[in-house]
């Protein structure tokens, strides 16, 4: 009787929607499920598989930045209501040892949803620089493969301690900061096409923003591949700047020591920028609050406002 009533309610609802020319709504999850005159059991099963139920829901796309905490198998399976986390199949308590654990989602799956695939777990990379491959469900494997080259990991928000733990990663940050600085100079030079083309060999996000990485980038750092590549591009760019009159004309002379060598903001190892006027000086020469350019700017402002020494009484 209950099944017939449920079927009749669905039919009545659909008939009402058809009769109302302004009504185009459907019950959530019913768009691709046809109501037949037969049993409603299969329809409910399909709808449940798409939307889940009160005790189970299908895995959803999510990026997990942490390592799953360790719990006893029985506790985790019980929290899943003795259902496979992938398809919702009920599992008798005596068979829970046959379920397979997904290191990414921290849930247990039947062998239909977990074929024994392995993957790098982002949380382990971000917390302890561990690129080992761990068992994951088929859903997690597909998800992790799909985002492997996507720049989703901002190390100012997640994995904040990696720079201090991983020297190679910190070296890359130094090289990248110089690349980002010299790129501005190169883009203003009409003779730098070939160098900019070399820069294109790096992933776009690494050329545009610091601290943002994909798992692929981090693994290349681990393998010692990314730093040499970035250094080679940086050296080509520096060589161009040192031999290009247009680029040299955009450089700075240190106004503290007045030496003739031309310096640039991207030379972070030897140069310091004034935080106010952005002029560039030797690190060893720069004195806070004694910037010559700032002094000139202030003097000019005083003259324009009529508050200079020659006007004061």
Q: Which residues contact 160 (CB under 8 A, 6 or more apart)?
A: none
CB atoms within 10 A of CB 121: 26
Q: What pLDDT does 28 receive?
A: 37
Task: Indicate the SS3 state at residue 80.
Answer: coil
Cβ proximity of 237 and 197 under 8 Å: no
Number of H helices, E strands in the chain: 13, 8
Q: Say what the pLDDT of residue 228 is.
A: 96
What's the predicted TM-score (pTM) here?
0.71
Let me know: does 202 contact 233? Beta carbons within 8 Å: yes
Backbone phi and psi for residue 25, each to the nearest 5 degrees, phi listed first = -90, 155
* Nearby residues of 265 by Cβ (< 8 Å), 6 or more positions away: 181, 252, 271, 273, 278, 280
Q: Are 226 and 214 in contact (CB under 8 A)?
A: no
Which domains are delineated in the chain? 54-147 (3.30.40), 156-249 (no CATH), 252-292 (no CATH)
Residuewise pLDDT in 10s, the chain (313 residues):
434 444 554 454 445 444 443 333 333 333 444 444 455 555 555 555 555 667 788 888 999 999 999 999 999 999 999 999 999 999 999 999 999 999 999 999 999 999 999 999 999 999 999 999 999 999 999 999 999 999 999 999 998 899 999 999 999 999 999 999 899 889 989 999 999 999 999 999 999 999 999 999 999 999 999 999 999 999 999 999 989 999 988 888 887 888 878 888 888 788 888 888 888 888 888 887 788 888 888 888 888 886 555 554 4
Exposure letters 177-202 (e unless 16+ CB within 10 A, then b): ebbebbbebbeebeebeebeebbeeb
């Amino acid at each position: 009787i209950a099944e017939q009533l449920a079927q009749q309610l669905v039919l009545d609802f659909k008939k009402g929607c058809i009769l109302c020319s302004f009504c185009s709504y459907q019950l959530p999850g019913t768009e691709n499920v046809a109501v037949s005159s037969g049993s409603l059991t299969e329809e409910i099963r399909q709808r449940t598989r798409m939307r889940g139920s009160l005790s189970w829901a299908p895995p959803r796309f999510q990026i997990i930045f942490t390592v799953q905490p360790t719990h006893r198998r029985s506790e985790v399976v019980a929290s899943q209501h003795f259902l496979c986390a992938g398809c919702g199949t009920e599992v008798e308590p005596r068979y829970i040892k046959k379920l397979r654990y997904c290191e990414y989602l921290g849930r247990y799956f039947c062998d239909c949803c977990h074929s024994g695939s392995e993957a790098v777990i982002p949380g382990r990379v971000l917390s302890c620089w561990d690129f080992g491959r761990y068992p994951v469900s088929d859903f997690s494997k597909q998800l992790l493969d799909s985002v492997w080259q996507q720049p989703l990991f901002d190390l100012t928000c997640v994995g904040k301690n990696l720079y201090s733990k991983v020297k190679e990663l910190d070296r890359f940050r130094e090289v990248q900061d110089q690349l980002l600085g010299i790129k501005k100079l190169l883009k203003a030079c009409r003779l730098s096409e070939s160098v900019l083309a070399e820069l294109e060999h790096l992933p776009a996000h690494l050329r545009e923003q610091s601290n943002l990485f994909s798992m692929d980038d981090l693994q290349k750092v681990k393998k010692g591949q990314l730093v040499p590549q970035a250094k080679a591009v940086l050296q080509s760019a520096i060589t161009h700047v040192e031999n290009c009159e247009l680029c040299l004309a955009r450089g700075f002379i240190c106004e503290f020591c007045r030496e003739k060598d031309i310096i640039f903001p991207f030379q972070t190892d030897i140069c310091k920028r004034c935080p106010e006027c952005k002029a560039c000086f030797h690190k060893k020469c720069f004195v806070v609050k004694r910037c010559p350019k700032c002094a000139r700017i202030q003097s000019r402002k005083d003259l324009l406002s009529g508050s200079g020494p020659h006007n004061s009484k």
